[in-house]
């Protein structure tokens, strides 16, 4: 497993990041522990979670994924410094007016909950889950800067920010001498490119941000389980069916052939390798819901596409301004 710098920080992280949204949802605690054990044994040190995971599931109040990860960290006995733990703040956790957002009140309350559930005294990467149009960015960044100064947070990042809000945040940090966002977690994959590539990529490149794409397999579409003649119903079909098109069915055929030329690599491994071929991408976030999915995802580590192979995939999924 190769290791990469997270933007301009001193953090060295594995080329794949384990996402945990499925913990306490489609993967129970026992399975989550098995996935975490196998992931770390394979050399992955970077784990991403969020305080709200997964409060959209009936009976899940949020905080469950963090709590499972915290139990595993204690159970595993792995020295804390060998792990890079990322979590997020923004979503609603409660019923009171200040139980969501990026205000000082909410962030200061949320960080204590995350630290408690994770069973740690610091978070390596604390991320704004999405922007808060109701809170001045100066207030958000000043609060996050305080957490860095206190040692509760090592670095800060953001997710789901449009380019202008990300640029604004970076400039406010510079002008006010505050901690700055050192990473972006965008929705980015081979069939969902424009959202990141149109403007955000240039911002990340210019300011040296690490890029941690989520949904690298397009809701399961880029695993190849959906095909022209077998677009069956499944729990995740809703998030994948927007990619059902003749051009994308042809793309899967191309990826399958490319995989055969790369020692039988799977379609999902080719999709992850396409992201890893971009030097700006730090670590795609994988979200396996079974040990079989995990082993398949891990097979992308070290897989390198040739320049010609990347060009073929680039041209097959071009987008227009």
Domain membership of residue 228 (yes or no) is no
Within a domain: 121: yes
CA distance 214 to 159: 9
Indicate the helix (H) or strand (E) that contains 252: helix 246-260
* Ordered DSSP codes for 155-200: EEEEES--HHHHHHHHHHHHHHT---EEEEE-B-BTTB-HHHHTTH
* Contacts with 14 (C-beta within 8 Å, 6 or more apart), sequence order: 1, 2, 3, 4, 43, 44, 45, 46, 283, 301
**Residue-level pLDDT at 229:** 79
Q: What is the C-alpha separation between 271 and 189, in angstroms, rounded?
A: 8
Domain encompassing residue 78? 3-218+274-305
Query: 122 exposed, middle or buried (CB, 10 Å; 0-12, 13-18, 19+)?
Result: middle
Q: Is 53 an active-site residue?
A: yes
Q: What's the burial of 164, exposed, middle or buried (CB within 10 Å: 0-12/13-18/19+)?
A: exposed
Q: What is the pLDDT of residue 36?
A: 98
Give, as one character, the DSSP assignment of residue 81. Answer: G
Domain presence at residue 117: yes
Does residue 14 sit in helix, strand or coil? strand
In a domain, residue 316? The reply is no
Residue 9 resides in a domain = yes
Give pLDDT, residue 237.
65
pLDDT means per 10 residues, the chain with 321 residues, are 93 97 96 98 98 92 96 97 98 91 98 98 98 98 98 98 98 98 98 97 98 96 88 64 93 97 97 97 97 97 95 93 66
Q: What is the pLDDT of residues 258-307, one digit of tens each?
A: 999 999 999 999 999 999 999 999 999 999 999 999 999 999 998 999 99
The catalytically annotated residue of 53, 131, 188, 214 is: 53
What is the structure's pLDDT at 227?
A: 86
Please report whether residue 299 resides in a domain. yes
Residues with Cβ < 8 Å from 76, sequence gap 6 or more? Answer: 36, 37, 40
Query: CA 142, CA 135: separation in Å to the nearest integer?
Result: 12
pLDDT at 230: 72
CATH of residue 150: 3.20.20.100
For residue range 193-230, what is the model confidence (pLDDT) as tens digits?
999 999 999 999 999 999 999 999 999 999 999 988 77
pLDDT of residue 321: 66
Instruction: Specify if 198 maps to a domain.
Output: yes
User: Is 142 within a domain?
Assistant: yes
Number of folded domains that form the chain: 1
Q: Do residues 212 and 160 make contact, with C-beta atoms less than 8 angstroms apart? A: no
């Amino acid at each position: 497993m190769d290791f990469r710098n997270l933007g301009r920080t001193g953090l060295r992280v594995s080329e794949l990041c384990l996402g945990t949204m499925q913990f306490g949802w489609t993967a129970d605690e026992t399975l989550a522990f098995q996935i975490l054990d196998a992931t770390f044994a394979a050399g992955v040190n970077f784990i991403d979670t969020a305080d709200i995971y997964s409060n959209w599931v009936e009976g899940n109040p949020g905080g469950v994924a963090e709590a499972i990860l915290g139990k595993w960290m204690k159970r595993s006995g792995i020295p804390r410094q060998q792990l890079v733990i990322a979590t997020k703040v923004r979503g609603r956790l409660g019923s009171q007016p200040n139980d969501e957002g990026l205000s000082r009140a909410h962030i200061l309350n949320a960080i204590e909950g995350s630290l408690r559930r994770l069973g740690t005294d610091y978070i390596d990467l604390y991320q704004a889950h999405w922007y808060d149009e109701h809170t001045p960015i100066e207030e958000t960044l000043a609060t996050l800067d305080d957490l860095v100064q206190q040692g509760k947070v090592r670095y800060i990042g953001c997710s789901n920010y449009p380019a202008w809000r990300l640029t604004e945040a970076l400039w406010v940090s510079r002008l006010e001498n505050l901690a700055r966002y050192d990473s972006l977690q965008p929705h980015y994959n081979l069939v969902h490119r424009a959202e990141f590539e149109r403007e955000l990529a240039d911002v990340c490149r210019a300011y040296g941000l690490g890029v941690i794409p989520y949904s690298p397999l397009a809701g399961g579409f880029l695993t190849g389980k959906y095909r022209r003649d077998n677009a069956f119903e499944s729990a995740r079909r809703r998030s994948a069916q927007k990619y059902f098109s003749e051009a994308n069915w042809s793309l899967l055929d191309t990826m399958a052939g490319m995989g055969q030329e790369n020692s039988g690599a799977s379609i999902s491994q080719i999709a992850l390798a396409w992201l890893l071929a971009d030097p700006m991408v730090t670590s795609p976030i994988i979200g396996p819901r079974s040990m079989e999915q995990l082993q398949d995802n891990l097979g992308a580590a070290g897989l390198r596409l040739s320049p010609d192979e990347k060009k073929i995939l680039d041209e097959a999924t071009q987008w227009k301004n």
